[in-house]
Amino acid sequence: MPFSILIPFIISLIFIYFLFLYIRKKRISDTFAFFHPYCDACGGGERVLWLALNAMHENFPDLNFIVYTGDIDRTPQEILGKVNSRFGISVPTNRLQFIFLRSRWLLEAKNYPRFTLIAQLFAGLIVGFEALWRFCPEWFMDTTGCPLTLPLFYWLGGAKTLCYVHYPTITTEMIQLVDSRTPTYNNSSSISSSFFLTKLKLIYYRIVALIYKSCGGCSQLTMANGSWTASHIEKLWSIKPKIVFPPCNVERLLELENNSECKLENNRENNEEKKFEVSIISVGQIRPEKNHLEQLRIFAYVRRLLLEQKININVKLIIAGGCRNEEDTKRVEFLQNYAKKHLGMKVGDEIDWELNIDFERLLDLMKNSLIGLHTMWNEHFGISVVEGMAAGVIMVAHNSGGPALDIIGNENLTKVDEEYFEKCGFLASTREEYVNIILKIITKMNVQDRKDIREAARRKALIFSDKFFEIKFCNLIGAFLTETKET
């Protein structure tokens, strides 16, 4: 091989070697970094981040903490103020530093109308490199789902790496859906109807799965937020992750006195002809997979049947959702337009849109709601389901993922456990099942039946409390820190 051909290769190796030395020399001991580019989004994943950081801050006084975020238009004070307002969590500012990443825009799905998965994977690598260049910690934890940051910090930065997985980047079910040519929100009918395009997408998905598996090999401690996520990580990464249920704010919610029955009974006593009031609440970020469109259709179906059967009940749907970005805002506008023009739902009478509300407002809405609605297929866990149960809302959730495995369902219980299993909510898969269950709760169950479900749900919610999370999370972290501490 001519020497001239080797020159670029040798120069590249020298560059990588000195880059390797430079970054590792910058590594600062006793620092623990969380990679969470959307830390200001205030969804369920952000609640995990801030409670984890809070618990570690209290239990590991010798550590300094870093949060990598792309919220460049916010100050640390504004971010922490919003955390306090939305979650009721007061995060200490000492021993905490924010590293603001200007490349976060690369993670936006709107930049990649095609090959979104693999594009976002490598976008995460670029954003991760900016994070590593700006600050190299002793311990690095990905809490947002950018898996290529793990080999980056492990190999190039020499950091000890760990992750908390909310949702796998790709799952065996996604591959099976493509293989079976089933149209879904991430497998359009134009692809599922084509044999050739289906085969191409299968190859693409398997390449993504292979990359994802290699990332998992660089995580020295892997936590999963529930049985569903853990089972997929075990299949994809060939490791057995530790299940740490995400912290749900049940303590505050358990104190709420649910007023939904009072509203029904007061109307019944005061005016026989006045319509009884029933609020159905949906809590969750306005993302495609949350399937808010199906919620609108379910609600419209319920309303139509009540009118046809001349049942004297006025139902209202409350969408309490968070918007992370412009894409979410446009989705809300589409949903609002659909509800008004296609389903005839009037704002204030049949539907209320409660967007980006604070925690106190959410509490007020939940304590006056009879039913909680959840429609996401294969929800990795389902914090909103647990929160609804703790607040005394009777939950109707999708019969898959976390709600089926860990929360409402009893698929993971032993035969001995099943003897003591209590009905703590309902599971549904089809629109008809949702409608029938909602009508059953409203029209066929009596006050005592609903009370029994509420009490069972509140007992179940205790195992998903902040305290349980803090204890298990810190025990795992403490053992990992001791095992990997630099001497």
Helices assigned H by DSSP within 256-325: 260-270, 292-308
Q: Does 300 share its domain with 356?
A: yes
Determine the pLDDT at residue 187.
64
In a domain, 150, yes or no: yes
In a domain, 1, yes or no: no
Q: Counting every residue, how long is the chain?
A: 487
**54: amino acid identity, one letter:** N
Q: Does 408 share its domain with 357?
A: yes
Rg (CA), the chain: 24
Q: Does 413 share its domain with 276?
A: yes
Determine the pLDDT at residue 114.
84
In a domain, 301, yes or no: yes
In a domain, 165, yes or no: yes
In this structure, is the dihedral angle defined by the CA atoms of residues 86, 87, 88 and 89, taken in order, positive or negative? negative
Give the Cβ contact number of residue 210 at 10 Å: 11
Determine the pLDDT at residue 270.
52
- Those residues whose C-beta lies under 8 Å from the C-beta of residue 136, and which sit 6 or more positions away, are 23, 24, 26, 27, 28, 153, 157, 158, 159
Q: CB-based burial of residue 294 (10 Å sphere; 0-12 exposed, 13-18 middle, 19+ buried)?
A: middle
Q: Does 243 share its domain with 258?
A: no
Q: Do the beta carbons of residue 109 and residue 116 sit within 8 Å?
A: yes
At 156, which CATH number? Answer: 3.40.50.2000
| Tokens coding 219 | 């995580």
State the DSSP string of 124-162: HHHHHHHHHHH--EEEEEE-SS-TTHHHIIIIIS--EEE
Determine the pLDDT at residue 266.
56
In a domain, 207, yes or no: yes
Determine the pLDDT at residue 272.
52
Q: Do the beta carbons of residue 263 and residue 298 sit within 8 Å?
A: no
Q: Does 239 share its domain with 363?
A: no
Q: Does 95 share its domain with 76?
A: yes
Q: CB-based burial of residue 152 (10 Å sphere; 0-12 exposed, 13-18 middle, 19+ buried)?
A: buried
- Helices 44-59 and 383-390, interaxial angle, to 10°? 80
What's the domain range around 225?
8-247+467-484
Q: Does 269 share its domain with 389?
A: yes
- Those residues whose C-beta lies under 8 Å from the C-beta of residue 413, and which sit 6 or more positions away, are 421
Beta strands in 383-485 (DSSP E): 394-398, 426-428
DSSP β-bridge partners for residue 351: 317, 347
475 phi/psi in degrees, rounded to 5: -65, -45
Determine the pLDDT at residue 42.
82
Helices assigned H by DSSP within 238-351: 250-254, 260-270, 292-308, 326-341
| Tokens coding 406 | 């860990």
In a domain, 344, yes or no: yes
C-alpha dist (Å) from residue 396 to 121, 213, 374, 386: 34, 34, 6, 11
Q: What is the mean pLDDT of each run of 10 residues along the chain (487 residues)?
A: 68 74 84 96 89 96 97 94 89 95 93 90 96 96 96 95 94 84 70 82 93 96 95 94 91 89 61 72 91 96 93 92 85 94 89 90 94 93 93 96 89 41 88 96 92 94 93 97 82
Q: Does 237 share its domain with 125?
A: yes
In a domain, 65, yes or no: yes
Q: Do the beta carbons of residue 298 and residue 431 sit within 8 Å?
A: yes
Number of domains in the chain: 2
Q: Does 109 share its domain with 176?
A: yes
Determine the pLDDT at residue 14.
79
Q: Does 479 share its domain with 447?
A: no
In a domain, 327, yes or no: yes
Q: Does 393 share its domain with 446?
A: yes
Q: Does 123 share its domain with 240?
A: yes
Which helix (H) or strand (E) is 437 found in, with range?
helix 431-439
